[in-house]
Amino acid sequence: MYDEFLPITRKEMEERGITQFDYIYITGDAYVDHPSFGAAIVTRLIEAMGFTVGIISQPDWKSDRDFTRFGRPKYAFLLTAGNIDSMVAHYTAAKRKRSDDAYSPGGVSGKRPDRAVIVYCQKIRQIYGDVPLIIGGLEASLRRFAHYDYWDDAVRPSVLVDCGADLLMYGMGEHQIQEVCKRLAQGEDIHSIHDVRGTCYLTEPVNTPLGAAQCPSFEQVSQNKAEYAKATKIQYDWQDEVYGKTIIQRHGNMMLVQNPPALSLTTEELDYVYSLPYTRRYHPSYEEQGGVPGIEEVRFSITHNRGCFGYCNFCSIALHQGRRVTVRSEESVLAEAERITHMPDFKGYIHDVGGPTANFRHTSCEKQLSKGLCMGKKCLAPTPCPALKADHTEYLAMLRKIRQIKGIKRVFVRSGIRYDYLMEDKNDEFIRELIKYHVSGQLKVAPEHCSAVVLDKMGKPHIEAYKAFQKRFYEITKGIGKEQYLVPYLMSSHPGSTLNEAIELALFLRDNHIRPEQVQDFYPTPGTISTSMFYTELDPYTMEKVYVPKTPHEKAMQRALLQYFRPQNREIVLEALKKAGRRDLIGSSPKCLVDELPGRKTPDRKGGEGNWKKNSPSRPQKGRPTQKPSAPKRQNSKKNSAQKRKHG
pLDDT of 15 above 80? yes
pLDDT of 6 above 70? yes
Burial of 595 (0-12, 13-18, 19+ CB in 10 A): middle
Question: Domain 296-585 belongs to what topology?
Answer: pyruvate-formate lyase- activating enzyme (3.80.30)
Q: Average pLDDT for residues 209-213, to the nearest whole number?
A: 96
Question: Domain 10-200 belongs to what topology?
Answer: Rossmann fold (3.40.50)
- For residue range 65-95, list pLDDT tens digits in order: 999 999 999 999 999 999 999 999 999 999 9
Q: Do domains 10-200 and 296-585 have the same CATH topology?
A: no
How far is CA 572 from each of CA 69, 96, 503, 617, rounded to the nearest angstrom? 54, 20, 13, 27
Return phi, psi of residue 336, to 5°: -70, -40
Output the pLDDT for position 187. 97
**HSE value, Cβ hemisphere, 13 Å, CA-based, for 474:** 16
pLDDT of 607 above 70? no
8-state DSSP, 428: -
Q: What is the mean pLDDT of the chain?
A: 92
How many angstroms separate the CA atoms of 260 and 646, rounded? 23
- Which of the two residues, 189 and 596, has the higher pLDDT score? 189
Output the pLDDT for position 642. 39
- For residue range 271-318, list pLDDT tens digits in order: 999 999 999 999 999 999 999 999 998 999 999 999 999 999 999 999
Helix (H) or strand (E) holding 49: none
Output the pLDDT for position 600. 61
How many angstroms separate the CA atoms of 495 and 491, rounded? 11
Spans of all domains in the chain = 10-200, 296-585
- For residue range 154-204, list pLDDT tens digits in order: 999 999 999 999 999 999 999 999 999 999 999 999 999 999 999 999 999
Output the pLDDT for position 518. 80
Which band of pLDDT confidence, cut at 50, 70 and 90, is reported for residue 359? very high
CA angle at residue 581 from 575 to 583, to 5 degrees? 75
pLDDT of 632 above 50? no
- For residue range 104-137, list pLDDT tens digits in order: 999 999 999 999 999 999 999 999 999 999 999 9
What's the pTM value of the predicted model, to 2 decimals? 0.91
pLDDT of 517 above 90? no
% of the chain residues with pLDDT over 90: 89
